[in-house]
Amino acid sequence: MRTKVAVIGSGNIGTDLMIKILRVSATLEIVAMAGIDPASDGLARAARLGVATTAEGVDGLIALPGFDDIAIVFDATSAGAHVANAAKLAPYGKMLIDLTPAALGPFVVPAVGLDLNPGVRNINMVTCGGQATIPIVAAISRVAPVPYAEIVASIASKSAGPGTRANIDEFTETTAHAIEKVGGAGRGKALIVLNPADPPLIMRDTVLCLVDAPAPGTRAAITASIEEMVKVVAGYVPGYRLKQQVQITPIPDGQPVHTLAGAAAVTHQVSVFLEVEGAAHYLPAYAGNLDIMTSAAIAAAERISA
């Protein structure tokens, strides 16, 4: 028996999420979509596909017949809206999977793990940049200490909707915190670039880590760990891949890395270059930033339902 789920948000992310669940999930059944724009393409598509819809937001979702049977609710709105949605849904005991940068609940990156306390009812999927890069930081930190990790996520401007643009500050803050908490870095930093190129380019991510890895064997283990992690992420995001070979270079004498790593010892810089091509279930293939969010959210929901 499939686990019944609902989506709040009928924009790009919510609609892609709905279509992905219908097409690729063997364990989830989407039964409802809630939005606030009656004319949205997402609600229109949901209705055509036989999914119950409401344009009254989370209040309308709660009022829908069959709401009690829904076990998991995906929130694909905005950070501010999620705070209100979570408060309204709290009395009903649903599992909330938050695709906004609100970060009310613990961070979850499926490739790194899903270790949740039994009472947790709200998990956060970090950000698109976080889902793409935190697995790499975690892969490095499980081999050698990472006093500092920095990521740059470059996405096509055309793939950044109003929600993404309204949450840029939350994006950088949430991703930086998750780099530390989930990735294992001593200090994290995140940047996002909205690339205006036309035709649009697919998502590119750069990960830079300062590590303490003086032994050649340790550096070889770092490369192997990264390559293994890429395969894990690609298991639920098929368009996720290394753009080029992992680079590990010694830090020159006198380089002031203490401004980034503090007093921690660092010997090498690890540079990882990634790209994420979308599956084009609803959005163009260049929108890998949205694809990795919805794919990761589904992967998390499937593990929870299991």
Active site residues: 128
Which pair of structure tokens corresponds to residue 32?
């409802």
Burial of 219 (0-12, 13-18, 19+ CB in 10 A): buried
Taking the C-alpha atoms of residue 33 and residue 35, their distance in angstroms, rounded to an integer, is 7
304 phi, psi to nearest 5 deg = -65, -45
Burial of 216 (0-12, 13-18, 19+ CB in 10 A): exposed
**Residues 287 and 232 sit within 8 Å (Cβ to Cβ):** no
Element (H, E) at 228: helix 216-234
Taking the C-alpha atoms of residue 256 and residue 205, their distance in angstroms, rounded to an integer, is 25
